Chains A and B, each alone.
Chain A
Amino acid sequence: GAVVSQHPSRVICKSGTSVKIECRSLDFQATTMFWYRQFPKQSLMLMATSNEGSKATYEQGVEKDKFLINHASLTLSTLTVTSAHPEDSSFYICSARSVGRSSPEQYFGPGTRLTVT
């Protein structure tokens, strides 16, 4: 099956610092990657759709200047949380869709748990 990795799996940072999260598709190419966020006891919420070589599309209410997304290659997308605050503490999960697949199935990375102190 398709494998998606994320790094780091867990990060603790101080308020005001920036954190970069990497999402990689390991055994397939992904033109589209998605970034989700999940707060405790809540559903996953789509933050943005990342397309290789173009600007990301952000969901309503998600600040594009705070959550910087770069999808520089068919196997790598990064999410940078800039000037993190405690309310940004959450479980961030990326997913990827394989190139050429007409099915909308997505494969999820293991997630990154961010804690901002």
Chain B
Amino acid sequence: RKEVEQDPGPFNVPEGATVAFNCTYSNSASQSFFWYRQDCRKEPKLLMSVYSSGNEDGRFTAQLNRASQYISLLIRDSKLSDSATYLCVVNREYSGGGADGLTFGKGTHLIIQP
């Protein structure tokens, strides 16, 4: 099982629609989860952190299911500017310390159509 797995898409969605992505992770000890957005040939930008209780930021809602080891992102009332690749990111945690770092999924490509 890959460390972080996402459906690569593309998801073609009409403007104004609601779209949801899921992501699964393999390391049950992971503690921190994020959604990043990456535009073509640009660096990733943090969209939102994902908390156990779920969190919402405007049109974006993130959920975490630790039992099933998956993370979701919901985008409501999608805009043309939401077109991008959405990266599911898990902070790697090692017991006993050691190197940490972010593990990225390959990303889900979203295209919002007018």
Chain A residues close to B by CB (< 8 Å): 34, 36, 41-46, 49, 57, 59, 91, 93, 95, 103-111, 113
- Residue among A41, A103, A110 making CB contact with B43, cutoff 8 Å: A110
- Residue among A43, A46, A111 making CB contact with B42, cutoff 8 Å: A111
Count CB-based A-B contacts (< 8 Å). 51
The answer to whether B49 touches A110, judged by C-beta atoms less than 8 angstroms apart, is no
**Which B11-41 residues have a C-beta within 8 angstroms of A?**
32, 34, 41
Size of interface on B: residues with Cβ below 8 Å to A: 22
Q: B interface, by DSSP: helix, strand, loop or mixed?
A: strand
For A107, list chain B residues within 8 Å (CB). Answer: 46
For A57, list chain B residues within 8 Å (CB). Answer: 98-99
The answer to whether A104 touches B91, judged by C-beta atoms less than 8 angstroms apart, is yes
The answer to whether B43 touches A93, judged by C-beta atoms less than 8 angstroms apart, is yes
For B80, list chain A residues within 8 Å (CB). Answer: none
CA distance A104 to B101 in the complex (A): 8
For B106, list chain A residues within 8 Å (CB). Answer: 41-43
The answer to whether B44 touches A104, judged by C-beta atoms less than 8 angstroms apart, is no
The answer to whether A46 touches B43, judged by C-beta atoms less than 8 angstroms apart, is no
